[in-house]
Amino acid sequence: MLSQKQAEEAIVTNETEHKVGSTREEEKEQGHSIFSLKSILWHGGSVWDAWFSCASNQVAQVLLTLPCSFSQLGMLSGIIFQVFYGIIGSWTAYLISVLYIEYRTRKEKENVNFKNHVIQWFEVLDGLLGPYWKALGLAFNCTFLLFGSVIQLIACASNIYYINDKLDKRTWTYIFGACCATTVFIPSFHNYRIWSFLGLGMTTYTAWYLAVAAILHGQVENVTHTGPTKLVLYFTGATNILYTFGGHAVTVEIMHAMWKPQKFKYIYLLATLYVFTLTIPSAVAVYWAFGDMLLNHSNAFSLLPKNGFRDAAVILMLIHQFITFGFACTPLYFVWEKVIGMHDTKSICLRALARLPVVIPIWFLAIIFPFFGPINSAVGSLLVSFTVYIIPALAHMLTYRKASARQNAAERPPFFMPSWTVMYVFNAFIVVWVFVVGFGLGGWASMTNFIRQIDTFGLFAKCYQCLPPAPKVVAAPPPHAHH
């Protein structure tokens, strides 16, 4: 009986793999040879492309705020939370990939063709769990991506200011808003191949620059490492880390751009392991060198000495933030195109025009709330907690709650999960933990912190956390000038 069932399963998976594979082959054959320059730079769908997309999308400007999180959490908690949320984040990305394959397999049995259609997370939820889940997924995902894009703009302005402070940060936000609006011309995630590759190179350079520069700088005089001191700060820091490893509001779109989405399963975990080599050394080194000074400097660049290496890191981060802005915005463009009925349009220029209304509110919000660190934590606790951790875990539990669904599942539980029950328990743990610690305590802490920033700096702040203009004459203040 069992062997017959396994044989049937094997046939079904082979069929779906063959089906998915054959449609991909047709797509590949259409209009360009595999070795053309266009395909090398532009048209990616391999496992490597997905890995680069995941890794470069996971860590961008968060690198610069992690040392600040460490000063709020203390060294030990900082490292533990990174590893913990990294693993949980990889697990929920795996769940999302399983649900995507399930949805796609069911739809392809009904002969639905996804040739000119990008499948998105809310459609997966709709197909598996119905319209209420679709609405929930859509609301959280879009809001998260909207603020994710806002954060990229704020970060651009915050970073460029360290190279050129002739203009204030608000003016820089206007300029970068205009630059980032050009992402409306990039059709889909197939076309991010060269960008993801460059993006990962840039964050790798920046992370190691932070680590090496901090070690060479050495500890500042009378350095103190008091953290954790306040509950508000502790949970704000923890939530920023929750946000770091919650970069997969775009998982489904990245999977859909793959020729063989079944291979996505462990890509996110491998990407996360690489990201650990960037985030942990840089945050540890900068916190070791500057200690409690980081509590008032949410951007690590602000403490490191100004030189060619730092300027290079700032410029690379700027380019990477432009790429990440595109990453966060592209799913929003898709949703908007579907709403106004432009998603099947072939003309890139028409689609670009149709996408512009998405960029305007992002630009506006970045100018209203220019708070670099606090907004990361607020977005982490209120949006990422649901989008990335709670909804995928709950959706997986509900999709496979019936014995028949488990029997016909397109994907079995992974080899390290002995049974569906263990998987259920683990998912339930994630839902409860993230709801209580991430959303509850994290939401309280980050909103308290966020409101404090508004009271201190006001909305539309012209120059958030900028140094007063007086000490501009001094080239490099001696370390004790900070006390």
Whether a cis peptide bond, with omega within 30° of 0, leads into 413 is no
- State both tokens at 361: 């509110």
C-alpha–C-alpha distance, residues 51 and 199, integer Å: 12
**Domain extent listing, the chain:** 46-111+132-457
- State both tokens at 113: 């063709």
**pLDDT lower than 70: segments of the chain:** 1-43, 247-249, 372-373, 465, 467-483
Asked if 411 and 98 count as a contact pair (C-beta separation under 8 A), the reply is yes
Q: What is the structure's pLDDT at 475? A: 47
C-alpha–C-alpha distance, residues 95 and 399, integer Å: 11
C-alpha–C-alpha distance, residues 51 and 373, integer Å: 27
Nearest residue to 205 (alpha-carbon basis) of 17, 16, 76, 60:
60
C-alpha–C-alpha distance, residues 111 and 100, integer Å: 16
CATH number of 46-111+132-457: 3.20.20.70, 3.40.30.10, 1.20.1740.10, 3.90.1150.10?
Answer: 1.20.1740.10
Q: What is the structure's pLDDT at 453? A: 77
Q: What is the structure's pLDDT at 55? A: 87
Q: What is the structure's pLDDT at 135? A: 94
Count Cα atoms within 13 angstroms, Cβ side, for 415. 2
C-alpha–C-alpha distance, residues 69 and 227, integer Å: 10
Asked if 264 and 50 count as a contact pair (C-beta separation under 8 A), the reply is yes
C-alpha–C-alpha distance, residues 451 and 88, integer Å: 29
C-alpha–C-alpha distance, residues 73 and 179, integer Å: 36
